[in-house]
Amino acid sequence: MSIDDRAAALEQEFAQFGEWLDKYNYLIELGKSVPSIDPQFRTDSYLIRGCQSRVWLHARLEDAVIRYSADSDAVITRGIASMLIRVLDGQPPDAVMGADLSFIDRIGLKEHLSPTRSNGLLAMLKQMKLYAYAFQAREKAGGKS
């Protein structure tokens, strides 16, 4: 499934909730359902420090797609992180780099990706794209040699 299809699926899942409370309940459930980061990567080397909450992110390239895993000490942050993982995990680097993530805005969770929110999520998203960029550069370099 493409990034857009996965994003559309998530948007649809959230559309069933009229109440913000149900939306957040679902968000927290999403956070619980996604497999957590391997404890060996829940360390300072993989930590993205936000002012309000902390996020750990790990990425590896496997069969030309990126496998992401993440965790956070806050459950709402973890929920949003799990949504980003759900749409971007298992995608090739160029798809991640060009990904349109406006679905988060449409779901009504945009505030969590605000640069002033300082919860580590925007930095996580930047880091996910940086990984994609690095993996692509490495693939190209590997292809030439």
Partner 1 sequence: MPIDPHSIRQRFPLLTRQVHGKPLVYLDNAATTQKPEGVLEAMDHYYRALNSNIHRGVYTLAQEATDRYEEVRQAVARFLHAPAAHEIIFTRGTTESINLVAQSFGQRYLREGDEVVVSVMEHHSNIVPWQLACQRSGARLKVLGIDGQGRLDMDALDAILGERTRLLALTQVSNVTGRIHPVREIIRKAHALDIPVLIDGAQSAPHLAVDVQELDCDFFAFSGHKAYGPMGIGVLYGKERWLEEMPPWQGGGEMIDRVTFEETTYNELPYKFEAGTPAVAEALGLKAALDFMEAVGMPGLHALETELMAHAWKKLEGFPGMRLYSAVEDNAGVISFLLDGIHPYDLGTLLDRFGIAVRTGHHCAQPLMDHWGVPGTVRLSVAAYNTTEEIDIFAEALEKCAAILA
48 and 126 Cβ atoms separated by less than 8 Å: no
Q: What are phi and psi of 121, to 5 degrees?
A: -75, -40
CB of 68 to partner 1, least distance (A): 21
Question: Does 51 sit near partner 1 (CB under 8 A)?
Answer: yes
Q: Is the CB of 77 or the CB of 91 nearer to partner 1?
A: 77
Rounded distance, CA 95 to CA 143, Å?
Answer: 19
* Binding region for partner 1 (CB under 8 A) out of 62-70, 71-79, 87-95, 122-130: 71-79
From candidates 2, 12, 33, 52, binder to partner 1 by CB under 8 A: 52
Residue 61 or 75 having the CB closest to partner 1: 75
Would you give the binding string for partner 1 spanning residues 14-33, x where CB under 8 A is met? ------xx--xx--x-----
Residue written as tokens 């090739």?
92
Q: What share of the chain is helix, strand, coil (3-state, %, to 5)?
A: 60, 15, 25
